A = this chain, B = another copy of it.
């Protein structure tokens, strides 16, 4: 099945300018005919469930190959999961590299995510269309989706499509789940004697898909820079108006990488890092008190304004909240959701946590449940939760003569505006190089690999490329009695350089207004040139 190309709508001057602005390529990728993939000495151990794709070595792509003609490749590509800036550049890099290796090679885009593979919905991608998408945001060239290829039926359907199309390569652009899926599909295809090579590319704005080789996932830089533009603007507004506290929740599901990066970019008065809250075993009440303390210190200095950053995943890092959610998921499965009924059945710390919450959030926790009866944690508006809690605390402190400021707060959530933007120059080049690398891995018949581009703190020209076996990142976890493969989300390391930098500076941000204003992402001029990789991957 084939579909007509999607209309790309009206075109802005920036879009036109960026279309004709070729990303910088690492020097190693200047002449593909010279390259070869060399295995590193240490082979990866065999992982249960993945007999056909484990035990493989990491591949580094170096020059010095013979200039022999390369095989014609027929490759499929799919976008999986949430948007991240630069996805189109991965596809364009992949296309261009395949054509350079053999001008007769073909690239097929599966439509609307992995379900396009299962259903056999695809479109051949051609240069005349692709050039319109260079350096653009979004995943709208072929769409994306969250369907997984997991069940025997889905795996068989995928194989059928792959064989019908005679693909020798499939590139899955996705996050931790999608890359786990890539490994499962690569394993399945080999076990069935199918020669198609499955290669993953590390995508997610959350920045939590990291390893020794994957220094950052693509889209993280653009998302953080887009949020930091808004945060910097809000900091300057707070400093000018001097009357509001802005509570800003930042997307990034679990780990606090985005909050950490944005804090380093903008220097807010307070940024809560979920991983630190977990390490210190703070209660919900204590986190709110920490916020109230900062507001109190600033009020003593005559400052009734400020900016506070909160990671989206915070609630699940707070031990008592985490326990509460777990207990509620069990209790509410039985139906009752009146707080009087629920409270006596909770453990004391979970009950305290629930009682510390404002009424609206209690109601949201008890009533809003997903189709499996679970509490919908991602729907909790943490910024509003803390505004309500802190407001109550400050009122109490005021009555006790311990606080004499005025508290006016504004809630913000920054998320969707950072996923489908024009990629920064960093993400443009990074994605383009990832696309090239995926092509080289398919050409090297690497199955069950994830492409990497590393040395990102150095100039683009010096970046190195290669592939790591996906099994080197996969762990088996006990889930409902069976062992399930997962790529663990990389959390913020409290021993890492980025956190240390943050920890060394943040005291100075509490009282002084050392706000930093990164401004909008620039693609031309001095700022575009000085813009390197994210601070959290230095």
Contact = CB atoms under 8 A, between A and B. Distances in A.
A525 B17 contact: yes
Contact of A9 (B417, B514, B525): B514
A526 B524 contact: yes
A50 interface: no
Contacts of A527: 12-14, 17, 523-524
A13 B532 CA distance: 12
A416 B524 contact: no
Contact of A517 (B233, B242, B422, B525): B422
A7 interface: yes
Given A9-B513, A267-B10, A522-B14, A138 B420 contact: no
Interface string A388-425: 00000000000000000000001010001111111000
Interface stretch (A139-147, A175-183, A340-348): A139-147
Interface in A358-385: none
B420 A10 contact: no
A362 to B, nearest CB: 15
A110 to B, nearest CB: 14
Interface in A492-513: 512-513
Contacts of A236: 83, 137-138, 140, 420-421
A419 B416 CA distance: 20
Contacts of A13: 526-527, 530-531
A359 to B, nearest CB: 11
Interface string A2-42: 00000101111111111000000000000000000000000
A151 to B, nearest CB: 22
Given A9-B515, A14-B519, A233-B420, A140 B240 contact: yes
B416 A516 contact: no
A519 B15 contact: yes
Contact of A410 (B82, B267, B416): B416
A109 B384 CA distance: 37
A112 interface: yes
A137 B517 contact: yes
A93 interface: no
A209 B15 CA distance: 32
Interface in A235-275: 236-237, 239-242, 244, 246, 267
A9 B240 contact: no
A490 interface: no
A521 interface: yes
A234 interface: yes
Nearest to A411: B413
A301 interface: no
The 6 closest A-B pairs by CB, nearest first: A524-B525, A520-B520, A138-B236, A237-B420, A236-B420, A139-B240
16 contacts: A7-B512, A7-B513, A9-B267, A12-B517, A14-B527, A83-B237, A137-B517, A139-B241, A144-B240, A226-B233, A233-B418, A234-B417, A520-B520, A520-B522, A525-B525, A525-B528
